[in-house]
Structure formats: structure tokens, C-alpha cells
């Protein structure tokens, strides 16, 4: 961004001196997530409550290498100030239950959020692609140019029709069943003690 700003200022300076402006650079490539439509008519209270992480489609090599170690995961969503979402994720690590706290901030349009981590490079864009408040939610996550899709259910299992919807969303962003992983349907954490809380809202 700083380099682009410098180029723009330099271009203005040269034009002001009467020199011919240089040929414009092509616009930046469109973000993969820009092509994803958010759920129409989304009401944030519909997202509130407990969700089970059913499946993830992602090109992440770390996920592929450790797919046999996936742990049952639940997410509790709370609506804050009518715009932001407080996310509390519970999962096991080395046999201990951990809670990860995050906050999804409102982005430029309904159904789109921003998850901020430590440093600019850790920014994650989130889009609610499709949902039925009583059954399932399909969310897209993009960090850098890498995109992943997650399927959440109100129960730990979803029916075939929902699974088919998820697969269509996965294929729509160029992913496949080869990078799609399903999470266990047993062994969920109910809570974590104060010594096993990772609060990313304070980063």
C-alpha cells in the first residue's frame, strides 16, 4: 500500500510539471472472496447460539498433514452491538479442552466480516455464504490469497442435502473433496478452565 501511494504521488508530481503521464498499471487482481455472494437477508441474531464444526475444505498443508488428529469442535456465537460477533471456539489439544475467543467485525457489506489477528498479515476476511438458522451455516474464510470453506451444523451431523450444498460451495471456489475434511461427531468440550483460554480479541 505504501509503495502504491508513492507511485500515485510521483505520478501527480510529474503531471504537474507538464510531463506526459506514464501508462497506468492494470488494476489489482480481484480477490477470490469478492466473487462470493453473501447470504441475502441475513439477520445476525440468526447466527447466534451453538454450532458444531462439521467439515472444512482448505488447501492448507498443515491441515492435510494432521487431518488424522482433528478434534471435535463447537462454536458459540454471540451478537455484539448489533454488528459484531463474539466467537468462542471449544476444542481439545493434547487431551485438554481449550477455548479460543475471537471477534468478527463488520465489513463493507451485510454478511461479510473481518477477523483481525496480530499484525496485518493475519487479517482474515469472512463471508456467510449460505445458512438455515435452524440447520446449517456455510462460511468462507480468506487469508491472503488462500480461501477455505467451513460447514457448521446445529447438530454434529447434517443431512445429505446440506452436505451437497456444501460440496457445491467448495467446488465454486476451486477446491475439491481431496482437500475436504470431516470432524469427529463425539468427544466435544463443554468448557475450558481459565488456564486454557486463548483470547485473540486482546491481540
Band of pLDDT at residue 118, cut at 50, 70 and 90: low
What are 185's three cell numbers?
A: 461427531
In a domain, 80, yes or no: yes
In a domain, 40, yes or no: no
pLDDT value of position 47: 97
Rg (CA), the chain: 20
In a domain, 131, yes or no: yes
Q: Which long-range contacts (CB under 8 A, 24 or more apart) does 169-177 make?
A: 169/129, 169/130, 169/138, 169/140, 170/57, 172/36, 173/32, 173/36, 173/140, 173/147, 173/149, 174/32, 175/57, 175/58, 175/59, 175/147, 175/148, 175/149, 176/57
In a domain, 39, yes or no: no
In a domain, 8, yes or no: no
pTM equals 0.83
Q: What is the CATH number of the domain that holds 95?
A: 2.40.128.20
Query: For residue 170, what are the domain limits?
Result: 48-202
In a domain, 103, yes or no: yes
pLDDT value of position 28: 59
pLDDT tens digits for 60-108? 999 999 999 999 999 999 999 889 999 999 999 999 999 999 999 999 8
What are the CA-CA distances from residue 180 to residues 57, 67, 95 (Å)? 4, 10, 24
What are the CA-CA distances from residue 90 to residues 51, 77, 167, 196 (Å)? 11, 12, 25, 10
pLDDT tens digits for 182-200? 999 999 999 999 999 999 9
How many domains, the chain? 1
In a domain, 114, yes or no: yes
The neighbour count for residue 192, using CB atoms within 10 Å, is 20
Query: Can you tell me the distance from the alpha carbon of 133 to that of 135, in angstroms, rounded to the nearest whole number?
Result: 6
Amino acid at each position: 500500500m505504501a509503495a502504491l501511494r508513492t507511485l500515485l504521488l510521483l505520478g501527480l508530481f510529474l503531471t504537474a510539471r507538464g510531463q506526459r503521464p506514464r501508462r497506468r498499471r492494470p488494476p489489482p487482481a480481484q480477490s477470490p472472496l469478492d466473487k462470493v455472494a453473501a447470504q441475502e437477508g441475513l439477520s445476525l441474531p440468526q447466527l447466534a447460539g451453538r454450532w458444531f464444526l462439521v467439515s472444512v475444505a482448505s488447501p492448507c498443508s498443515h491441515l492435510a498433514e494432521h487431518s488424522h488428529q482433528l478434534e471435535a469442535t463447537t462454536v458459540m456465537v454471540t451478537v455484539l452491538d448489533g454488528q459484531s460477533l463474539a466467537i468462542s471456539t471449544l476444542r481439545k489439544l493434547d487431551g485438554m479442552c481449550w477455548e479460543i475467543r475471537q471477534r468478527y467485525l463488520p465489513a463493507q457489506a451485510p454478511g461479510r466480516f473481518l477477523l483481525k489477528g496480530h499484525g496485518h498479515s493475519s487479517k482474515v476476511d469472512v463471508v456467510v455464504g449460505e445458512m438455515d438458522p435452524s440447520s446449517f451455516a456455510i462460511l468462507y474464510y480468506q487469508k491472503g490469497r488462500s480461501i477455505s470453506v467451513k460447514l457448521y451444523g446445529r447438530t454434529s451431523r447434517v443431512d445429505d442435502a446440506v452436505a451437497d450444498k456444501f460440496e457445491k460451495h467448495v467446488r465454486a471456489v476451486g477446491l475439491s473433496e481431496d482437500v475436504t475434511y470431516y470432524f469427529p461427531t463425539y468427544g466435544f468440550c463443554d468448557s475450558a478452565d481459565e488456564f486454557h483460554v486463548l483470547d485473540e480479541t486482546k491481540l
